[in-house]
Amino acid sequence: MKTEDLKELLLSIAEEDAIISRLYGLFSLRKGYSVQLLEEIIQHGIKIGWFEVVTVQTGEITHKDIEWKIDNVFQEIIFSDRNFSVMTLFNESDEIPNEFKQFSS
């Protein structure tokens, strides 16, 4: 994924603007990234404890598969620790965190 797009994805999650329908529409349909790549990035974030998949209405953490489709307005990706995301992503270095550089091209 292009560095600027990866940063946009991570910032979308940090800004709590990561409803699956939006991510799918922007990154897969509009920018042409595969669902497999998006899934790998999100699952990596879950594995390292950064991300959670939640139900939009209740905020409950789900461990279900992500339904990558344009009408999925019921699942959202969030940072497990909001303060951590702000300190990590909104800094002067303006770089992709080391934990996600493997997805940057």
| Cut 0.85: pTM above it | yes
Tell me: the pLDDT tens digits for 51-79? 999 999 888 888 778 999 999 999 999 99
Give the model's pLDDT for residue 37.
Answer: 98
**Long-range contacts of range 100-104, CB-CB < 8 Å, 24 or more positions apart?**
100/6, 100/10, 100/41, 100/44, 100/45, 103/1, 103/6, 103/37, 103/40, 103/41, 103/44, 104/1, 104/2, 104/3, 104/6
Mean per-residue pLDDT over the chain, rounded: 90
Q: What is the pLDDT of residues 5-14, one digit of tens each?
A: 999 999 999 8
